[in-house]
Amino acid sequence: MVANFDVDFVVLWVDDTDPSWQEKYNRFAAKDLLDEKGARYRDFEIFKYWFRAVQQYAPWVRKIYLVTDGQVPNWLNTNHEKIQVVDHTEIIDKKYLPVFNSSAIELNLHKIPGLSEHFVYFNDDMFINRPVSKKDFFSDSGLPKDSAGLNAIQPAVDFDYIHVNNMMIINHRFNKRDVMKKQFFKFINPINLELNIYTALLFFWPKFTRFFDTHYPYSLLKSSMSRVLSDNETAYVTTMNDRFRSVNDITIWLVRYYSLATGMFSLRSPRFGKIYDLYSATDRAVTDIVQSKHKTIVVNDNSKFSNEEFLDVKDKLIGAFEKKLKDKSEFEI
């Protein structure tokens, strides 16, 4: 059975070498106080392979929405019927612009004009790595695919504040005992593999500590996202007022957490994808790209890289993608 609904892809991208963007950023840069700022903006110059992978491995996608701050890759075929470039001004109130906070930008994706009810959100470091179908992202009935598991907050870097902010809302909105009773067979299930161990260890803890975050492309419903953010307007406004990432922010993960708490999702194995911290796993990431070990992969930059190391890793990634996706896609000029 083939799901009889359309699915769109949404991806965010920024070109930190763009003089116009740099001018805007430099006007407010003093307020960019959290860690890893360099790793958040710099470009490995592999984005064209994201589009090549979509064409090769997900030709069924209806539309691809590229969300940017007035930027368009110079190689992108914006006249292609599947491509729609969305400027921040189209989805974000001008009083919040310019905004460099990806958490804030993500909270407005459901406002994209023409976006389908079912969509998959990608960071620009999330790549489709071998053939995928709609069923990898949504069930036949239209529920988002996800992996259910409990986890604990383990503070180590500034970014960990988001887990606290998101989970505070979940604990105010939901009773953990009721959720775990109703969703028992989604949280304890063979499909979840090793996540069952984490869940079992935290099952009887009275409050949610954290859900397990797979950090793969996010399967989302536009209506659900609108409803969650409407229900949490104060948290939304607080995040939107943060031009850069802040300890006050919530994220799009909150939408996913609501789905987990309400059972409005369909189970998917956590082995669906793999995330690689390039600082410690560049060679493994390259191998996965070339050998297509996982359906999706994430290649995470790391602020610990020196400029020389960054350039070396960039060359390795480009080399791997060239071996696999050397032919120009129809999405390129």
- Confidence band, pLDDT 50/70/90 cuts, at residue 214: confident
- Dump pLDDT digits (tens) for 287-304: 999 999 999 999 988 888
Over range 123-151, report the average pLDDT: 97
Using CA atoms, how far apart are residues 103 and 35, in angstroms rounded to an integer?
A: 14
Query: Is a pLDDT exceeding 80 seen at residue 41?
Result: no
pTM given for the model = 0.95
Instruction: Report domain extents, the chain.
Output: 7-324
| CATH among 1.10.860, 2.60.120, 3.40.640, 3.90.550 for 7-324 | 3.90.550
3-class SS string, the chain: CCCCCCEEEEEECCCCCCHHHHHHHHHHHHHCCCCCHHHHHCCCCCHHHHHHHHHHHCCCCCCEEEEECCCCCCCECCCCCCEEEEEHHHHCCHHHCCCCCHHHHHCCHHHCCCCCCEEEEECCCEEECCCCCHHHCECCCCCEEECCCECCCCCCCHHHHHHHHHHHHHHHHCCHHHHHHHCHHHHCCHHHCCHHHHHHHHCCCCCCCCECCCCCCEEEEHHHHHHHHHHCHHHHHHHHCCCCCCCCCCCCHHHHHHHHHHCCCEECCHHHEEEEEHHHHHHHHHHHHHHCCCCEEEEECCCCCCHHHHHHHHHHHHHHHHHHCCCCCCCEC
pLDDT of amino acid 178: 98
